[in-house]
Amino acid sequence: MELLEKVALGDKTLKNRIVMAPMTRSRANNEGVVGDLTTLYYSQRANAGLIITEGINISEQAIGSPLTPGIYTREQIEAWKEVTQSVHDRGGLIYAQLWHTGRVGHSVGRNGMLPVAPSPIAIKGQQHFTLQGMKDFETPHELTVDEISQIVRDYGQAARNAMEAGFDGVELHAAFGYLPNQFLAESANIRTDAYGGSIENRNRFVLEVMHELVDAVGNDKAGIRLSPTNAYNNIENSDPVAQFVPLIEALNEMPLAYIHLMNAMYPLDKYPHYPKNVMETFGSISRHPVIANGGYDRETGKAELEKGIAEMISYGALYLANPDLPRRFELNSELNVPDRATMFAGGERGYIDYPFLQD
């Protein structure tokens, strides 16, 4: 398989196997509404086989970081229609990544409301960015069963809103320490009810949400992002293989579009029991198309495809800095270097001003 080959995804055909990975950019306004810059940002990158948006908050409760977009108000939905139409006009496909941050937030950015989580366990050893500066994480509110059920419904409504806004599908962000990942992790979930304790119970929330998403958007239009060896945001499991293999096997029984697997993004020296190769360990058991993510360039992406497990490769920072990434890969040309200082800034710089190759 080659990066620039076409590939089927559900009832669509992607023009290449290069996926734009979801990346938080913090360019929405205070009401979570995206604007013209966001429309241009995504339309510039409609050359991807598939765009997966930055995380989009499914509800007001879901908000963790400032200036991140939502899809739960009429104004937010209408604004996303401009984005999806612009991408489609340029021959692109775009999925909405649905986001609930759980305990990865702070009350100063949530109108004084504490973040929520499976269990009242605060993140230690990190701080959270707020509009009042960096803050220590707070002990989150422990969700009741009724509140969990409401969040599942919120995901379903957000998915319906996304389809109304013109998205081609949705992705559940169940990775990198956000709410679904918190339910999966022994370090964040010490519940003793149906959502905690056993591996089956810790997987329950994610599976309920995925059933809700499929019901909302239909077959082959919902994907999921997982990070089985992620340790960021205090996410730990005594046995990731025992946790995630049954989860992926259960996902195999659903009519999903894909599974999006993240490699470890940080050293795992403290976790010698974690599997070293995410794609071989977890991707190999998926009956759905696998998108591989995390640290790939042109050559390593091509090499990953040649192994025959992943069918697509997603690129984050490289796509941020190179809006014409497929063309640059085709020509094996020099790449723009991402400016990390402007990744989460609020204006044009580092957002829509990265140069294209000259014809």
Catalytic residue annotation:
178
Q: Which of 130, 100, 131 is nearest to 117 (CA)?
A: 100
Rg of the Cα atoms in the chain: 19
Whole-angstrom distance, CA of residue 263 vs CA of residue 296: 10
Within 13 Å, how many C-alpha atoms sit on residue 124's CB side?
A: 5
Angstrom distance (rounded) from CA 115 to CA 193: 21
Adjacent-strand bridge partners of 8: 13
Contact 126, 231 (CB under 8 A): no
Q: Which residues contact 32 (CB under 8 A, 6 or more apart)?
A: 57, 63, 68, 69, 70, 73, 76
262 closest CA partner among 284, 244, 237, 279: 279
Q: Please state, in angstroms and rounded to a whole number, the distance separating the CA atoms of residues 222 and 168.
A: 9
Element (H, E) at 51: strand 50-57
